[in-house]
């Protein structure tokens, strides 16, 4: 909860030395210690809030960068899918098609077409 602000009426009713009739004496050591502790607590809270905001900002920036990288991967994946779809539609197996598929899949080109037979349930 934010601290209360003094109104003009409250300011006018305070005495010349800055103390209101209801506040404790400023020369009271217990009061001074309490104020000191409160000021330190407020400072710690403000520092913690600032640090938290900075960490949030850094996390947002990191997620934005990651998002951009993922968008690039999606775009690349869509291009690969379109290429593979086109090769399937053409329906012919050529060495060039095989090379393109291997590049897209990232697998080394072994030159052995028997590896594709592993998915065949009749074997």
What would the mean pLDDT of 80-86 be, rounded to a whole number? 88
Give the residue extent of every domain in the chain. 30-109
31-45 burial, b if ≥16 CB within 10 A, otherwise e? eeeeeeeeeeeeeee
Question: DSSP 3-state assignment of 1?
Answer: coil
pLDDT at 73: 96
pLDDT at 123: 40
Question: Are the C-beta atoms of 64 and 74 separated by less than 8 Å?
Answer: no
Distance CA 95, CA 84 (A): 14
Distance CA 16, CA 12 (A): 9
pLDDT, tens digit, for every residue of 104-118?
888 654 444 444 444
The pTM (predicted TM-score) of the whole model is 0.50
**Any idea what DSSP says for residue 27?**
T
What would the mean pLDDT of 43-57 be, rounded to a whole number? 98
């Amino acid at each position: 909860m934010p601290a209360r602000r003094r109104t003009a009426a409250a300011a006018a009713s305070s005495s010349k030395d800055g103390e209101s009739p209801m506040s404790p004496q400023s020369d009271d050591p217990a009061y001074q210690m309490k104020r000191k502790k409160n000021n330190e607590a407020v400072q710690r809270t403000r520092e913690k809030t600032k640090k938290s905001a900075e960490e949030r900002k850094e996390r947002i920036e990191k997620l934005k960068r990651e998002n951009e990288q993922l968008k690039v991967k999606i775009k690349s994946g869509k291009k690969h899918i379109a290429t593979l779809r086109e090769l399937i539609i053409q329906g012919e197996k050529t060495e060039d098609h095989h090379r393109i598929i291997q590049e897209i899949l990232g697998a080394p080109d072994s030159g052995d077409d028997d590896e594709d037979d592993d998915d065949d349930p009749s074997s």
